Amino acid sequence: MKKKLILPSIAFLSLAPFAVFAQIASSPTFTLEKAVVSNGGGASSGTTFSVEGTTGQPAAGENSGTTYRLQGGFWNSNLAPTAASLSISGRVFAADGGGLRNAVVFLTDSTGATRTARTTTFGYYYFEGIGGGQTVIIGIRSKLFQFEPRVMTLNEDLADVDFTPSGTEENIKR
């Protein structure tokens, strides 16, 4: 029984100083003594400043002066769509259900820039490095078949964006 209590006790006692240290921040000009989310607010001050805050929403937002900028609260008022780099991948099918090789897949982004990719032997394609939050057009050029282009809004990586020839969906076997 004593062995079961020793290991958790050692772990707790060895990590306790780090937990306290994580709650205290300081520099040569200030000391932040209380930084507990559930504290309901409080004041911190140093030789050149004083900050009073609360964990409630009314104090959220940005406050600034000639020599400082303070962003506080849970909600940031400057939320904007991310410019994360996203990818689109899928497969282009022939009328017989197999992958269509050497088809040209084109992607036109919201600025009008067009990228192209050729399908692999089994009809797969892949685009990466696409800015998120934009609407793109994806289309296929093939000497053998016609495909309907698609308009898509990108908010996350997209996989399995597959294309089948126009008017032949009922003939394709997957």
Condensed to tens digits (0 to 9), the pLDDT of residues 68-124 reads 666 655 544 444 455 578 999 999 999 999 999 999 999 999 899 999 999 999 999
Quick one: how far is CA 102 from the chain centroid?
32
Residue appearing with tokens 């707790």: 12
Residue that the structure tokens 């006790």 belong to: 9
pLDDT digits (tens, 9 = 90+) for 145-160: 999 999 999 999 999 9
Q: Is 99:121 a contact under the CB 8 Å cutoff?
A: yes
Q: Look up the pTM and report it.
A: 0.50
Burial class from Cβ neighbours inside 10 Å (0-12, 13-18, 19+) for residue 52 reads exposed
* Beta carbons within 10 angstroms of residue 8's beta carbon: 9
